[in-house]
Amino acid sequence: MDQFTLMILWIYGAAIAVTIFVIVLDRMGKTWTQYLIRIITSIAVVWALCTSWMWFYLIALWLSLPAFLIGLVLTIYTINKYGWGRPAKVFSIVIGLTVILNLVSLAFFYS
């Protein structure tokens, strides 16, 4: 494997590990983990929104998409575990805006 592929695997492995770690902590029944999920999801979806304009560049493989995947998985988990509360609605809106901004920038740069 070349160094680029190895770096991509490390970054996605770290993103998967963070997501699994947070979900396992929440499954253990700790009351403070729902706040941890909200904090990590908030950071991930905002980071994905701010960097979504470059998803079609190669740098997005290790800069933006792992944060988007963490945000998406934790948002789905939040909806399934805690229902459609205010945080889940906000996270869903930001994820939708992220996808829309990506498609608009894709059309803008490749037209």
Instruction: Write the pLDDT tens digit of every residue in 53-107.
Output: 877 777 777 788 889 999 999 999 999 998 998 989 999 999 999 999 988 988 8
Distance CA 110, CA 59 (A): 17
Alpha carbon 103 to its chain centroid, in Å, reads 17
Instruction: Identify the residue whose tokens are 């991509």.
Output: 8
Q: Residue 1 — very low, low, confident or very high, per pLDDT cuts 50/70/90?
A: low
What is the reported pLDDT for 58?
A: 73
pLDDT digits (tens, 9 = 90+) for 8-47: 888 888 889 989 998 888 888 878 888 888 999 999 999 9
3-class DSSP state of 35? helix
